[in-house]
Amino acid sequence: MKTEPEGAARLLNAVAFAAHKHRDQRRKGEDKSPYVNHPIEVAELLAGTGGVGEMNVLMAAVLHDTIEDTDTTLKELEAAFGSEVRALVEEVTDDKSLPKDVRKRLQIEHAARLSDAAKLIKLADKIANVRDMTDHPPSGWPLQRRLEYLDWAERVMAGCRGVNGALEKLFDAVLKRARETDLS
């Protein structure tokens, strides 16, 4: 009897899927690193710093930008990784039909209503993004825009607190360093 792949095999499957889907994309930062480094970092933060061992959460972290930034469909995610992973990715995906400023406002408003698992992914995502902003600032972002981004990230994170002390502490430290670096 053929058994379903489990554990490490499922996770690596998700990594391979994300790497393929993001294969032509680069991060916004000056170093132009491959896009897939970002979702891998988000999953690594959850497992390493956050001590999160739940496979569906780690898989959803690896896949969290596939709907927003690639041609991947929710159906495709469900067929490959199951309904729980699909639902989690859907929860952390913005509605791209809305203008950017509306999407940013909705992220603040929706944060507190997310499931705990989705909050974990958001926390790790924002840690990775704020860290990138400091270490590899996007070319052409003036100081004001970077500071506004940090204020916004802090407001989204306000709704995601109470699920993982270690990740929340790291977010605070990364945010503080980002502001100090920008203002020094």
Q: At what angle do helices 55-62 and 116-135 cross, to 10 degrees?
A: 40
Answer for the pair 125, 92: CB distance below 8 angstroms, yes or no: yes
> Which one of 4, 6, 65, 69 is the catalytic residue?
69
In the numeric block, the tokens 């000056």 are attached to 30
Based on the shown chain and the rule CB under 5 A, indicate whether residue 168 belongs to the binding site for Zn ion: no
14 token code pair: 């998700």
Burial class for 113, CB neighbours closer than 10 Å (0-12, 13-18, 19+): exposed
In the complex with Zn ion, the residue whose CB is nearer, 130 or 163, is 130
CB of 135 to Zn ion, least distance (A): 16
132 binds Zn ion (CB under 5 A): no
Q: What residues from 65 to 84 belong to the interface with Zn ion (CB under 5 A)?
A: 65
Q: Which range, of 96-104, 121-129, 138-146, 176-184, touches Zn ion by CB under 5 A?
A: 121-129
d(CA 131, CA 61): 17
3-state secondary structure of 1: coil
Question: Among this protein's residues, is 69 annotated catalytic?
Answer: yes
CB 54 within 8 A of CB 7: no
Q: How far is the CB of 177 from Zn ion (least distance, A)?
A: 19
Which single residue brings its beta carbon nearest to Zn ion?
A: 125
The letter for the amino acid at 2 is K
Map the footprint of Zn ion across residues 46-65, applying CB under 5 A: 65
Total site size for Zn ion, rule CB under 5 A = 2
Candidate list 6, 31, 68, 172, residue with the active-site label: 68
Of 125, 153, 168, 170, the one binding Zn ion by CB under 5 A = 125
Q: Copy the structure tokens of residue 153.
A: 């990230």
CA pair distance 184, 182, nearest whole angstrom:
6
Q: Which residue type occupies 43?
A: A
- Give the nearest distance from C-beta 94 to Zn ion in angstroms: 10
Candidates 26-34, 44-52, 114-122, 123-131: pick the segment binding Zn ion (CB under 5 A). Answer: 123-131
- Catalytic (active-site) positions: 68-69
Contacts with Zn ion, residue ranges (CB under 5 A): 65, 125
